Amino acid sequence: MADLSIQFAGIKAPNPFWLASAPPTDKAYNVVRAFEAGWGGVVWKTLGEDPAAVNVSSRYSAHYGVNREVMGMNNIELITDRSLEINLREITQVKKDWPDRALVVSLMVPCVEEAWKAILPLVEATGADGIELNFGCPHGMSERGMGSAVGQVPEYVERVTRWCKTHCSLPVIVKLTPNITDIRQSARAAHRGGADAVSLINTINSITSVDLERMVALPIVGNQSTHGGYCGPAVKPIALNMVAEIARDPETRGLPISGIGGIGSWRDAAEFIALGCGSVQVCTAAMLNGFRIVEEMKDGLSRWMDSQGYKSLQDFSGRAVGNTTDWKYLDINYQVIAKIDQQACIGCGRCHIACEDTAHQAIASLKQADGSHRYEVIDAECVGCNLCQITCPVQDCIEMVVQDNGKGFLDWEHDPRNPYAVRA
């Protein structure tokens, strides 16, 4: 079996699956249950200065798919609502009882050096393996100048990271907010400040839905609502892109990344790792299914690694980074054409109407004698956009077949049709 153990920014863990700083890691009770279930590490629910934060009711809402499966979740919870002292005591005990697991403590205090200087030694004394700076919480705390209010200003990110590196000997992971325009600016700032790693993403500003009877967004507090932070499967594509952007940025190349956002299966995790992550963190999937999901994640990942001949995570970590590039470097001569497997086709007509109405009129609908329709790709019209394959309800029914057009590699930089082409 493949070895799932990791050493991430100097922190050891038996597997790369960590629970993200959130309700699943709120207190010793949860964390012990998580460790019993087999999680490789946790990032403790964010600690702050006393007095502890106070939460409202209700707190969560969701964006659903057609079968009421949760596509994304939204929350307006703040950082820990328990006192610093209790949290520190529990962290100390848990780390003592579970020495082989990674225990990282998430922190958020005001953006003044004194505040960080005061809390860091207390955390270090617990025996924790590292700290994570919560520069991402997009609601509530940000109104008080913390969380994403810090994460959105690169200078603040750099400054606070430096204070932490100065006043603490533990590895410092900077957790980034996605509520920015260019994630590389934040990552570069953390890197300049001396961060040992970055983790991302925290939640995305969101309103999931509106109660049209009461005319108020969800979740409802009294007769009002406020925007919250979005997480779960729907944010995975956004997180993956941000991870890739950092992984392939020359300025931050090699900076360890802990991937977060919509991870719920071994495959999700493997994708984050392929794009450069050294560990992954999970929140929503655990909140919706319980801690037991780590079982299938570990089993699936190691079996897949075995099938690929990967002995450790390093063997494939970052492997997809080199293949992620700018549009201008893509091969403009590469061509695929849709091919329908008539045996598998159930005749729903979705590919036809999608291509006919909104793409390239490349799928003919041929009425048969019995009134049914046969759908055939018109090769000459197909541009290979994948739309039909995406809308087809049958798995593997439409294949995008690579065409051998005899043309060699050509990118836009060198394409004669580009007025600004680089002339060789």
Ligand X SMILES: Cc1cc2nc3c(=O)[nH]c(=O)nc-3n(C[C@H](O)[C@H](O)[C@H](O)COP(=O)(O)O)c2cc1C
**Residues near ligand X (CB under 6 A):** 20-23, 45-46, 73, 75, 77, 79, 106, 134, 136-137, 175, 202-203, 231-232, 235, 260-263, 282-285
Of 51, 250, 309, 371, the one binding other proteins by CB under 8 A = 371
Least CB distance to ligand X at residue 242 (A)? 12
Least CB distance to ligand X at residue 259 (A)? 10
Is residue 402 a contact point for other proteins (CB under 8 A)?
no
340 binds, among ligand X, ligand SF4, other proteins, none (CB under 5 to 8 A by kind): ligand SF4
| 136 Cβ contact partners less than 8 Å away, ≥ 6 residues apart | 147, 148, 151, 175, 176, 177, 178, 179, 200, 201, 202, 203
Of 348, 364, 378, 401, the one binding other proteins by CB under 8 A = 348
Least CB distance to other proteins at residue 401 (A)? 21
Of 91, 102, 247, 397, the one binding ligand SF4 by CB under 6 A = 397
Query: Per-residue string for binding with ligand SF4, 361-380, x by CB under 6 A?
Result: -xx-----------x-x---
How many whole angstroms separate alpha carbon 193 and alpha carbon 190? 5
Query: Segment near other proteins (CB under 8 A), from 139-147, 177-185, 258-266, 368-376?
Result: 368-376
Identify the active-site residue in 137, 168, 351, 397: 137
In one-letter notation, the amino acid at residue 408 is G
Is residue 401 a contact point for ligand SF4 (CB under 6 A)?
no
Strands 398-402 and 336-340: antiparallel
300 binds, among other proteins, ligand X, ligand SF4, none (CB under 5 to 8 A by kind): none
Residues in contact with ligand SF4, counted by CB under 6 A, come to a total of: 28
31 binds, among other proteins, ligand X, ligand SF4, none (CB under 5 to 8 A by kind): none
Is residue 394 a contact point for ligand SF4 (CB under 6 A)?
yes
Is residue 125 a contact point for other proteins (CB under 8 A)?
no
Of 9, 15, 355, 411, the one binding ligand SF4 by CB under 6 A = 355
20 binds, among other proteins, ligand X, ligand SF4, none (CB under 5 to 8 A by kind): ligand X
137 is a catalytic site residue: yes
Query: Segment near other proteins (CB under 8 A), from 62-70, 112-120, 154-162, 200-208?
Result: 62-70
Least CB distance to other proteins at residue 345 (A)? 9
Query: Per-residue string for binding with ligand SF4, 308-347, x by CB under 6 A?
Result: ------------------------------x-x----xxx
Least CB distance to ligand X at residue 290 (A)? 14
Taking CA 119 as the corner, what is the angle to CA 24 and CA 187, rounded to the nearest 5 degrees? 70
Question: In three state form, how does the secondary structure of the chain look?
Answer: CCECCEEECCEEECCCEEECCCHHHCCHHHHHHHHHHCCCEEEEEEECCCCCCCCCCCCEEEEECCCCCEEEEEECCCCCCCCHHHHHHHHHHHHHHCCCCEEEEEECCCCCHHHHHHHHHHHHCCCCCEEEEECCCCCCHHHHCCCHHHHCCHHHHHHHHHHHHHHCCCCEEEECCCCCCCHHHHHHHHHHHCCCEEEECCCEEECCCEECCCCEECCCECCECCCEEEECHHHHHHHHHHHHHHHCCCCCCCCCEEEECCCCCHHHHHHHHHCCCCEEEECHHHHHHCCCHHHHHHHHHHHHHHHHCCCEHHHCCCCCCCCCCCHHHCCCCCCEEEEECCCCCCCCCHHHHHHHHHCCCCEEEEECCCCCEEEEECCCCCCCCCHHHHHCCCCCCEEEEECCCCCCCCCHHHCCCCCCCCCC
Catalytic residues, which ones?
A: 137
Interface residue list for ligand SF4 (CB under 6 A): 338, 340, 345-351, 354-355, 359-360, 362-363, 375, 377, 382-388, 392, 394, 397-398
Interface residue list for other proteins (CB under 8 A): 66-68, 344, 346-350, 352-353, 365, 371-373, 393-395
